[in-house]
């Protein structure tokens, strides 16, 4: 039987995916759930900030270009809370690093990933490396 049932004493890792493209967010949800993550989704930065304040994930995947509130503004709000100062954030975007806002450097992001450069499996692997 599955090893998933043998390690019942380990809590599931929690991940928040703040991404406005439903196809992309659902694809990542499936990949992370297959690896026993508790996944929550938000389709814009405003909902994402509300989500992470309640859900307190172990890590956040954050798109930059979104409606309602962009990823940079959302990250500033997340970092303004005591809990949000230390949560690892991986920016997952289609913007090249050269196009990224300079302010990101001051907001303690863990990694910057251009979506087209890594497969979903590689993103899952990177997240696991970050949170252990």
CA–CA distance, 91 with 113 (Å, rounded to integer): 6
CA 25 to chain centroid: 10
- Mean pLDDT along residues 111-120: 93
Given pLDDT bands bounded at 50, 70 and 90, which one contains residue 86? very high
> Residue 92 forms beta bridges with which residues?
113
**Token code pair at residue 4:** 């998933």
Given pLDDT bands bounded at 50, 70 and 90, which one contains residue 101? confident
pLDDT at 83: 86
CA angle 12–77–132, rounded 5-degree value: 25
In the chain the first and final C-alpha atoms are separated, in Å, by 24
pLDDT at 11: 77
pLDDT at 1: 44
């Amino acid at each position: 039987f599955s090893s998933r049932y043998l390690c019942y004493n380990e809590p599931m890792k929690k991940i928040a995916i703040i991404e406005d493209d439903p196809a992309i967010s659902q694809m990542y949800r499936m990949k992370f759930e297959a690896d026993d993550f508790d996944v929550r989704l938000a389709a814009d930065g405003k909902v994402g900030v509300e989500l992470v304040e309640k859900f307190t994930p172990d890590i956040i995947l954050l798109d930059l270009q979104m409606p309602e509130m962009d990823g940079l503004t959302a990250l500033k709000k997340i970092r303004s809370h005591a809990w949000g100062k230390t949560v690892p954030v991986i920016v997952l975007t289609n913007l090249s690093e050269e196009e990224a806002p300079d302010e990101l450097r001051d907001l303690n992001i863990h990694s910057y990933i251009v979506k087209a450069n890594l497969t979903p499996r590689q993103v899952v692997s990177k997240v696991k490396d970050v949170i252990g």
